Amino acid sequence: MDNNNMKEANRTKHYAVAVIAAAAGVLLDQFTKYLAITKLKGEEPYILLKGVFQFEYLENRGAAFGLFQDQRIFFFISVAVICAVVIWFYVKVPMERRFLPLRICAVMIVAGAFGNCIDRVRLNYVVDFFYFKLIDFPIFNVADIYVTVSTFALVVLLFFYYKEEDFERIFHRRK
């Protein structure tokens, strides 16, 4: 097998791993939401640390912090655009160890977007259940964690870790 065929086989393997990882993330998110529905819905909050953290069932028909209530079309278009941009970006990123954090962030953002999208299609709302009562933080779920943490990590990486020559390699490389 020549060098180009090996590179393509390696790239294909990376894509397959990314799809499997995203699917595993979605499955974990959906499983935790299933548990929230079966164990928390219609029940009093389950308190882990009194006054600090609890599991509390919430049907969120909006986006983060309750914005855009009942705007299903907006959410579907948003998920499609986000996924298209992230997949385009993933394809552009070199398959080298140095760029692995970018690829992981991309996979987690897609997993989170799909996890919440599945809820919107299936239930007409997103199931949320983590609540930091101490700071009265909005109730959230596993998919929200994927998106928030990955986006924050992506911003930190882009501003503080990667350099101009890395961006050149991502956005202007020749095949």
User: Which residues have a catalytic role annotated?
Assistant: 128, 144
Count the residues in the chain: 175
Phi then psi for residue 71, to 5 deg, are -105, 65
**HEC assignment per residue over 31-62:** HHHHHHHHHCCCCCCEEEECCCEEEEEEEECC
Helix (H, G, I), strand (E, B) or coil at 71: coil
> What CA–CA distance (Å, rounded) separates 112 from 150?
9
